[in-house]
């Protein structure tokens, strides 16, 4: 989910001097592993308000506003998410619940107050749009690093450049994607998706990184649709990590009865 | 002036040659920069309101022009739902996606659309319908099952009988469609080779039709026009039997055609279906005047005469009637400039220009040419001309016709009156109808594809009914409430303005919807920083802003969606409408799958929240953008896509009338308006404009020509008489169209004004000559006798030249050309016959006033034979 981790903190705890990061890594798997942790596993849990501005090729805008709660069962492993929608007003109260499994399909539920309905969402395809934005469901929950082959193809002063090809091409719409991982924070700062005919048709860019409670966190990022000409701007605010979220929050009960206490914006 | 021109031409023939050569070369050099325009939309000016709205609709709803690829399988019992056929469709689709210039994300094919369904465990699932080609018959049939549950795909992507599948290939630019359709053809050939699939593939869709049309237009210009030239050359050679002589009119015709086309292209006009006919119109018209000069010269020139003097005499004598016939023809064509159809205007103006140029070239070039003929050639000319002494067919047939006409004057007048009456009756039965696809012949591959696909699918002709909510109630209501809340706050000593909560809304957004959005975001942010005193007021403001926001999203409200559903039902009642697609179909499908997949749940959610949330679920699919083909993101405009089985304007008009009738009884709610868009509708618009415009241009030309005739003959009665043959001809031709039930379409409409310009020529020549001869003879009987010698022969000859000149059009690949060719030949024939029968009859009846017997003149000199 929203970016942010650890690297420095974790390494500091292990007693490894931070400046040793300057020594370049050469193992693609290790870089991807760290990037996955940095982007999706900051802290043990977290909460954040999110706002999506979905702009189409004609410049017409739609807004989605929601609050995300996350709790890691294991660093780099299974996680629970809850997404509570607040805007537009007509979708207020909609909740999206995900139990992310590394070694199997995710479990996904949706609560629709307008139809008074809790509906399970089929495990199947994770590369569908996230509520009409240019981000995919998988961009929000994190693509399993084991789904791709990773090759380190280059690096410069700031980033490692990795090329990733799917192990099972039939399940995805891309032929490969290239990711630029920041050498300091290990946050993926740019991802370009390439289709069958070698065109870059989709590009994610991180626009702003902020250190929150010591975790470098991507608080503004943008997904560009290079074919249709639109983009979605995703902003995170009121982000907090290590809140001590109880596991009960991530239950079916919360669908109809949102845990107000954790949804409230932290002050300051 | 005539003197001066004739002198110049005969004294400086080389200068004239140089002038003609430079003019032709200079303007001809513009021709290579030709730009072809085949878009029927261009029948309307760019800024015509319906056209502008059509394009705005296309843009707003992302409705790109599409090439339609259809696969038909009539052999397999499961139709298209067999492993081989589906694999072929899959392969073809994936390859098409690689073609440059295709709008990839909007391509519609079984392999790239979503299936919304229940998976086993009662979960809703958005999966690619056919991400990979099926391997077994069972998988193939599963696709059938899925499609039959998806009303938006059924009968659009796969036909109701399961025998045909379609791929919609939206393209970025229409002018690429020829290349893209060629690439698609190659892909199909490659994909089918060795695949075992027996499907027949068709490629159609408007962009393809337009491009093919452009290609055939070149064929027409490159083959039919030169053929017309050849036919005219042969015909004149048959009449004059002197190649050297016939070359002159041919040069005039070529110079005219090249100059007119060069000028048009050089001035930046595109060559449209209308203007592509300019060469074939100008060629015979340009030749006619030269024929007059040559005939007259051959008649009067005596061996030993001074050639210059002889030709100057001829030019002086013919100048006036030639000028008048040229001007009347020009008026007929120029009258097209008052139609509101730009291609028709361009056509009229440049044919008009061409006629006047042909006149000018005739009176300067032909004399210069004759002056430069060698004595041997002149002798040969005379010999061949006079050598025709033995009476030809025309010489035998025409005099009895003249005797018959004058002898049965009253009977003939009654007969013509009856014909006229019947024609008027026929006029009232005229069916106004057109369909650009029918411009291709019925065995053309476009027509074949069109027929095949419309047989299987709900229809391949698009029309769009756009509904738009203009009402500002929601915003006004919010403004009122905001005022009150702010007032309450001020009363309590709280200054909300200081927080700047509506700063976002003040940044100059015009659209009230955007203002509300900005205000909601601003209030939400302000709320976070606000103190306890401000919070209640800000929350009130936010609540009412959000209520207004929700209310403004008109097409998220259940009654609005139900209204769309009702309109769909009303439209689908028409036999011409195969299917309609709109927001309710999408909502009902997703709602059913959310609620468990039972048929009973195929319904519109009953609350606004239910609709909004169902749509958000839909947007979590692979193709969320597809929603915006049906409604705009502000939910204030929605579109109903009609698939029509026929592109006939009449059928579209029936659908429109049906909606109008319904709306007359059930008016749309206040603030909501409906308007049509789509190619099929645009065709109706320009046809209506054409019909009205043609009536006006015909009337205008009629009045102008009538006045000219009265001036020319210096007699009201003669003027009216001159208009008689063309009046009869036009009503007869169009009455006939009414009686035989041929559709009054674009080419037929355009012909009316030209008929006027062309057929008045005969009357001018006939009456002018009759008067002149009567002036010499003073006797009606001998005038008529002479009239049916040389003058009648000249008229008949010209009729044949022009009529034959147009016949190559009969072999053109496109039907409008064929229609024009057939009708012009018919019009020329009818108006010549009417002139030669009705005018003598009328003159006979009115002879007391028009051609009174005068005593003391010598009887007719019959020296003017031949011609």
The helix (H) or strand (E) run that includes residue A121 is strand A117-121
List the single residue in B94, B612, B620 with the smallest CB-CB distance to A114: B612
Taking only the tens place, the pLDDT of each residue in B263-277 is: 999 999 998 888 888
**Per-residue pLDDT for B153 more than 50?**
yes
B195 burial (CB, 10 Å; 0-12 / 13-18 / 19+) is middle
Taking only the tens place, the pLDDT of each residue in B425-473 is: 999 998 888 888 888 888 888 889 888 888 899 888 899 999 999 888 8
List the single residue in A115, A132, A170 with the smallest CB-CB distance to B613: A115
- Residue in A closest to B610 by C-alpha: A114
Range A99-115 average pLDDT: 93
Residue B619: pLDDT band by 50, 70, 90 thresholds? Answer: very high
Taking only the tens place, the pLDDT of each residue in A23-39 is: 688 899 999 999 999 99
Write b or e for each residue in B332-357: b if 16 or more Cβ atoms lie within 10 A of its Cβ, otherwise e. bbbbbbbbbbbbbbbbbbbbbbbbbb
**Per-residue pLDDT for B391 more than 70?**
no
Nearest to B140 by CA among B214, B76, B233: B76
Mean pLDDT of chain B: 87
Range with top average pLDDT, A14-18, B674-678, B688-692: B674-678
* Cβ-defined contact of B614 to A112 (cutoff 8 Å): yes
Would you state the torsion angle of the CA atoms of residues B690, B696, B698, B704, taken in this order, to the nearest 10 degrees? -150
More confident residue, B317 or B159: B159
Which pLDDT score is estimated for B506? 57
Tokens 């499961």 sit on residue? B78
**Per-residue pLDDT for B858 more than 50?**
no
Q: Which residues contact B518 (CB under 8 A, 6 or more apart)?
A: B504, B505, B507, B509
Range B579-596 average pLDDT: 95
Angle subtended at Cα B245 by Cα B240 and Cα B251, rounded to the nearest 5 degrees: 120
Which pLDDT score is estimated for A6? 41
Taking only the tens place, the pLDDT of each residue in B756-795 is: 777 788 888 889 889 888 988 888 888 998 888 878 887 8
Which pLDDT score is estimated for B392? 66
- pLDDT above 70 coverage of chain A, percent: 91
Residue B35: pLDDT band by 50, 70, 90 thresholds? Answer: confident
Distance from CA of A106 to the nearest CA of B (A): 13
Alpha carbons B290 and B838: distance in angstroms, whole number = 27
Which pLDDT score is estimated for B504? 53
* Cβ-defined contact of A121 to B125 (cutoff 8 Å): yes
Read off the pTM.
Answer: 0.87
Residue B500: pLDDT band by 50, 70, 90 thresholds? Answer: low
Which pLDDT score is estimated for A13? 43
**DSSP per residue over B190-238, as a string?**
HHHTTT---PEEEEESHHHHHHHHHHHHHHIIIIIHHHHHHHHHHHHHH
Range A41-53 average pLDDT: 95
- Looking at A91-100, A226-235, B1-10, B462-471, which range is the least confident one? B1-10
* Cβ-defined contact of B550 to A90 (cutoff 8 Å): yes
Q: Which positions in chain A touch B624 (Cβ < 8 Å)?
A: 129, 132
User: Which residue, among A66, A90, A239, would best test binding to B if mutated, counting the most B CBs under 10 Å from its CB?
Assistant: A90
**Per-residue pLDDT for B590 more than 50?**
yes
Which pLDDT score is estimated for B336? 87
Which pLDDT score is estimated for B136? 94
Which pLDDT score is estimated for B150? 93
Would you state the torsion angle of the CA atoms of residues B316, B317, B322, B328, taken in this order, to the nearest 10 degrees? 110
Residue B1: pLDDT band by 50, 70, 90 thresholds? Answer: low
Alpha carbons B262 and B23: distance in angstroms, whole number = 10
Q: How many CB pairs under 8 A join A and B?
A: 130
**Per-residue pLDDT for B73 more than 90?**
yes
- Residue in A closest to B601 by C-alpha: A115
* Cβ-defined contact of B607 to A65 (cutoff 8 Å): no
Which pLDDT score is estimated for B861? 41
Range B618-630 average pLDDT: 94
Which pLDDT score is estimated for B229? 87
Q: Which residues of A touch B (CB under 8 A)?
A: 51, 56-58, 60-63, 65, 85, 87-91, 94, 110, 112-115, 117, 119-125, 127-132, 137, 170, 196-197, 201, 225, 227-228, 265
Q: Which residues contact B278 (CB under 8 A, 6 or more apart)?
A: B257, B260, B261, B264, B347, B350, B351, B354
Taking only the tens place, the pLDDT of each residue in B501-549 is: 665 555 556 677 777 888 888 888 888 777 788 888 888 999 999 999 8
User: Which residue, among B56, B132, B607, B620, would best test binding to A if mutated, counting the most A CBs under 10 Å from its CB?
Assistant: B620
Which pLDDT score is estimated for B866? 34
- Residue in A closest to B624 by C-alpha: A132
Nearest to A244 by CA among A69, A100, A82: A69
Which pLDDT score is estimated for A9? 42
Q: Which positions in chain A touch B628 (Cβ < 8 Å)?
A: 56
Distance from CA of A264 to the nearest CA of B (A): 11
Q: Where are the beta strands (DSSP E) in B333-485?
A: 461-469
**Per-residue pLDDT for A10 more than 50?**
no
Which pLDDT score is estimated for B582? 97
Which pLDDT score is estimated for B867? 32
Range A223-246 average pLDDT: 94
Residue B204: pLDDT band by 50, 70, 90 thresholds? Answer: confident
**Per-residue pLDDT for B863 more than 70?**
no
Q: Are B755 and B730 in contact (CB under 8 A)?
A: yes
Q: Which positions in chain A touch B132 (Cβ < 8 Å)?
A: 170
Length of chain B: 867
List the single residue in A63, A91, A132 with the smallest CB-CB distance to B613: A91
Rg value, chain B, Cα? 36
Q: Is B778 helix (H, G, I), strand (E, B) or coil?
A: coil
Range B352-369 average pLDDT: 92
Which pLDDT score is estimated for B864? 40
More confident residue, B452 or A206: A206
Q: Which positions in chain B touch A88 (Cβ < 8 Å)?
A: 546, 549-550, 553, 612
**Per-residue pLDDT for B51 more than 50?**
yes
Residue B357: pLDDT band by 50, 70, 90 thresholds? Answer: very high
**DSSP per residue over B105-138, as a string?**
GG-B-TTTSEEEEEETTTEEEEEETTSS--SSHH
3-state secondary structure B787-843: HCCHHHHHHHHHHHHHHHHHHHHHHCCEHHHHHHHHHHHHHHHHHHHHHHHHHHHHH
Range B134-150 average pLDDT: 94
Q: Which CATH number fits domain A17-257: 2.50.20.10, 2.30.140.10, 3.40.50.720, 1.10.1740.10?
A: 2.50.20.10
User: Rounded to 5 degrees, what are φ and ψ at A96?
Assistant: -120, 120
User: Which residue, among A93, A132, A169, would best test binding to B if mutated, counting the most B CBs under 10 Å from its CB?
Assistant: A132
Distance from CA of B619 to the nearest CA of A (A): 4
Q: Are A28 and A151 in contact (CB under 8 A)?
A: yes
Alpha carbons A2 and B248: distance in angstroms, whole number = 85
More confident residue, B505 or B282: B282
Q: Are A233 and A50 in contact (CB under 8 A)?
A: no
* Cβ-defined contact of A90 to B528 (cutoff 8 Å): no
């Amino acid at each position: 989910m929203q970016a942010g981790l650890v690297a420095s903190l974790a390494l500091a705890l292990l007693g490894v001097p931070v400046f040793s990061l300057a020594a370049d890594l050469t193992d693609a798997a290790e870089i991807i592993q760290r990037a996955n942790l940095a982007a999706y596993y900051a802290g043990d849990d977290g909460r954040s308000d999110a706002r999506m501005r979905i702009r189409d090729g004609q410049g017409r805008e739609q807004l989605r506003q929601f609050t995300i709660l996350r709790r890691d069962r294991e660093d780099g492993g299974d996680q629970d998410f809850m997404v509570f929608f607040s805007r537009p007003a007509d979708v207020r109260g909609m909740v999206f619940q995900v139990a992310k499994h590394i070694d199997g399909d995710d479990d996904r539920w949706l609560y629709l107050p307008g139809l008074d309905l809790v509906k399970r969402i089929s495990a199947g395809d994770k590369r569908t749009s996230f509520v009409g934005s240019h981000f995919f469901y998988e961009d929000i929950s994190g693509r399993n690093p084991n789904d791709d082959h990773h090759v380190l193809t280059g690096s410069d002063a700031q980033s490692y450049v990795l090329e990733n090809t799917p192990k099972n091409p039939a399940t995805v719409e891309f032929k490969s994607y290239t990711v630029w991982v920041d050498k300091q924070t290990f946050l993926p700062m740019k991802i370009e998706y390439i289709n069958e005919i070698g065109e870059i048709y989709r590009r994610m860019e991180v626009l702003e990184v902020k250190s929150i409670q010591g975790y470098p966190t991507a608080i503004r990022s943008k997904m560009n649709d290079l074919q249709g000409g639109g983009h979605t701007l995703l902003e995170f605010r009121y982000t907090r990590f290590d809140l001590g979220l109880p596991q009960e929050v991530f239950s079916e009960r919360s669908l109809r009865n949102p845990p107000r206490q954790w949804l409230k914006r932290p002050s300051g | 002036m005539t003197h001066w021109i004739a002198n110049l031409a005969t004294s400086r023939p080389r200068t004239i040659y140089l002038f003609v050569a430079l003019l032709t070369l200079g303007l001809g050099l513009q021709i290579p920069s030709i730009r072809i325009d085949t878009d029927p939309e261009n029948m309307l000016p760019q800024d015509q309101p319906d056209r502008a709205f059509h394009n705005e609709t296309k843009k707003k709803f992302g409705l790109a022009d599409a090439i339609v690829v259809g696969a038909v399988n009539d052999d397999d019992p499961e139709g298209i739902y067999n492993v081989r056929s589906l694999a072929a469709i899959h392969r073809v689709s994936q390859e098409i996606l690689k073609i440059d210039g295709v709008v990839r994300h909007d391509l519609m094919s079984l392999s790239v659309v979503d299936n919304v369904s229940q998976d086993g465990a009662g979960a809703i699932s958005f999966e690619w319908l056919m991400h990979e080609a099926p391997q077994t018959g069972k998988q193939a049939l599963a696709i059938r099952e899925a499609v039959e549950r998806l009303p938006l795909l059924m009968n659009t992507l796969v036909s109701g009988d399961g025998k045909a599948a379609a791929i919609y290939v939206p393209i970025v630019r229409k002018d690429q469609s020829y290349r893209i359709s060629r690439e698609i053809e190659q892909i199909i050939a490659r994909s089918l080779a060795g695949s075992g699939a027996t499907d027949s593939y068709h490629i159609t869709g408007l962009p393809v039709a337009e491009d093919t049309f452009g290609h055939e237009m070149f064929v027409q210009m490159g083959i039919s026009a030169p053929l017309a030239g050849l036919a005219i050359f042969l015909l004149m050679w048959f009449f004059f039997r002197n190649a050297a002589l016939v070359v002159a009119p041919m040069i005039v015709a070529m110079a005219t055609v090249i100059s007119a086309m060069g000028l048009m292209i050089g001035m930046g006009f595109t060559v449209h279906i209308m203007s592509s006919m300019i060469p074939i119109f100008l060629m015979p018209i340009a030749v006619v005047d030269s024929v007059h000069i040559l005939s007259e010269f051959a008649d009067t020139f005596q061996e030993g005469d001074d050639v210059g003097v002889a030709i100057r005499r001829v030019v002086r004598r013919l100048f006036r009637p030639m000028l008048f016939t040229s001007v009347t023809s020009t008026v007929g064509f120029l009258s097209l400039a008052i139609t509101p159809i730009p291609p028709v205007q361009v056509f009229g103006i440049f044919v008009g220009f061409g006629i006047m140029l042909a006149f000018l070239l005739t009176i300067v070039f032909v004399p210069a040419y004759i002056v430069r003929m060698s004595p041997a050639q002149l002798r040969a000319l005379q010999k061949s001309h006079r050598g025709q002494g033995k009476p030809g067919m025309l010489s035998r047939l025409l005099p009895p016709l003249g005797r018959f006409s004058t002898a049965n004057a009253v009977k003939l007048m009654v007969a013509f009156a009856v014909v006229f009456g019947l024609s008027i009756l026929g006029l009232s039965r005229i069916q106004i109808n057109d369909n650009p696809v029918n411009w291709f012949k019925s065995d053309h591959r476009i027509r074949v594809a069109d027929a095949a696909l419309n047989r299987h699918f709900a229809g391949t002709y698009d029309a769009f009914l756009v509904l738009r909510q203009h009402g500002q109630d929601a915003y006004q209501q919010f403004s009122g409430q905001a005022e009150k809340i702010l007032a309450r706050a001020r009363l309590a000593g709280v200054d909300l303005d200081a927080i700047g909560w509506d700063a976002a809304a003040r940044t100059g957004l015009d659209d009230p919807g955007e203002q509300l959005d900005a205000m909601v975001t601003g209030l939400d942010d302000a709320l976070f920083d606000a103190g306890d005193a401000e919070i209640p007021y800000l929350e009130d403001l936010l609540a009412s802003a959000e209520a207004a926001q929700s209310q403004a999203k008109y097409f998220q409200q259940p009654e609005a969606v139900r209204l769309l559903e009702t309109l769909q039902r009303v439209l689908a009642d028409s036999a011409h409408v195969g299917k309609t697609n709109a927001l309710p179909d999408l909502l009902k499908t997703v709602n059913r799958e959310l609620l468990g997949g039972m048929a009973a749940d195929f319904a519109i959610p009953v609350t606004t929240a239910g609709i909004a949330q169902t749509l958000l679920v839909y947007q979590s699919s692979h193709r969320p953008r597809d929603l915006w083909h049906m409604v705009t993101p502000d939910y204030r405009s929605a579109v109903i896509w009609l698939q029509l089985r026929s592109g006939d304007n009449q059928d579209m008009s029936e659908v429109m009338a049906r909606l109008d009738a319904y709306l007359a009884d059930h008016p749309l709610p206040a603030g909501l308006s409906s308007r049509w868009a789509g190619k099929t509708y645009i065709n109706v618009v320009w046809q209506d404009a054409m019909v009205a415009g043609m009536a006006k241009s015909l009337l205008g030309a009629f009045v102008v020509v009538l006045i000219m005739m009265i001036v020319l003959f210096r007699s009201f009665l003669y003027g009216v008489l001159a208009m008689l043959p063309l009046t009869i001809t036009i009503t007869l031709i169009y009455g006939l169209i009414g009686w035989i039930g041929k559709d009054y379409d674009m080419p037929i409409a355009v012909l009316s004004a030209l008929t006027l310009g062309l057929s008045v020529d005969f009357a001018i020549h006939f009456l002018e000559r009759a008067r002149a001869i009567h002036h010499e003879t003073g006797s009606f009987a001998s005038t008529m006798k002479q009239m049916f010698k040389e003058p009648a022969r000249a008229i008949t000859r010209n009729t044949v030249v022009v009529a034959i000149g147009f016949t190559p059009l009969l072999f053109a690949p496109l039907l409008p050309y064929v229609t024009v060719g057939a009708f012009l030949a018919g019009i020329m024939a009818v108006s010549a016959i009417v002139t030669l029968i009705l005018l003598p009859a009328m003159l006979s009846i009115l002879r007391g006033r028009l051609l009174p017997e005068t005593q003391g003149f010598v009887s007719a000199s019959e020296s003017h034979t031949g011609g």
